[in-house]
Amino acid sequence: MNIILLGPPGAGKGTQAGNLVRKREMLQLSTGDMLRAARTSGTEMGQRVADVMDRGELVTDEIVIGLIDEALDGEKAAGGVIFDGFPRTLAQADALAELLAAKGHTLDAVVELRVNDEALVARITGRYSCGDCGAVYHDSTHPTKVAGVCDHCGSTNLKRRADDNEDSLRQRLMEYYKKTSPLVGYYHAKGQLRVVDGLAPMADVEAAIDAALSR
């Protein structure tokens, strides 16, 4: 099963992708994570990507489509792929359809995590994650059980993102509404959209996604 998790910054895409990876042996392909790896590469491209991300704008379609193309070539997940943060433009959605068709795969569902903007500021400014396994936490709603130690892998390499501040979030939201939210209508028209209440407690969101994927 290949699926897209769609929603604005802080909607819970990374959190829920982590659950699906653990339960269903799916592979999470997060363009945000790939771009954060690129920005630490020390290359000129990495520096350009870092500047764009810190401003809260979208990186060019060409770069992210190239990253997904490469990642799909090495794909080896029994449970299929979760696209987290991709596609984010109609051009990326068309490119994904072509890439999947060329590799003999299908897109099975698009899960939209529906939230409202007020909840997102608190979620984004309180977020931190494990630099080793990627598990996502929050200062008040989902802290690690032992302070400073990842629940999943025991690492003490817990990090905050450079773009997790209010100014950058406002720009990221603007980009979402201008360029990414048209994908809701696009996938609805294709009959692939399943909407989940992303404001519900994490365990309820997880159960709603499970139900949506078994439909």
4 contacts 107 by C-beta, under 8 angstroms = yes
Concatenate the DSSP letters of all residues of 13-47 into one string: HHHHHHHHHHHH-PEEEEHHHHHHHHHTS-SHHHH
Shortest separation between residue 116's beta carbon and ligand AP5, angstroms: 12
Shortest separation between residue 125's beta carbon and ligand AP5, angstroms: 9
Nearer to ligand AP5, 80 or 85 (CB): 85
Nearer to ligand AP5, 80 or 138 (CB): 138
Partners of 137 in beta bridges: 128
168 contacts 50 by C-beta, under 8 angstroms = no
Nearer to ligand AP5, 7 or 80 (CB): 7
Residue in this structure with the two tokens 């690690």, named with its chain if needed: 144
Q: Residues with catalytic annotation?
A: 13, 88, 127, 161, 172
Residues that bind ligand AP5 (CB under 6 A): 7, 9-15, 31-32, 35, 52-53, 56-59, 64, 85-86, 88, 92, 123, 126-127, 136-138, 141-142, 172, 201-202, 205
Rounded Cα gap, residues 161 and 181, in angstroms: 23
Nearer to ligand AP5, 1 or 136 (CB): 136
The CB density around residue 127, as the number of other CB atoms within 10 Å, is 20
Concatenate the DSSP letters of all residues of 28-96 into one string: EEEHHHHHHHHHTS-SHHHHHHHHHHHHTPPPPHHHHHHHHHHHHHT---TT-EEEES---SHHHHHHH
Shortest separation between residue 76's beta carbon and ligand AP5, angstroms: 22
Shortest separation between residue 194's beta carbon and ligand AP5, angstroms: 16
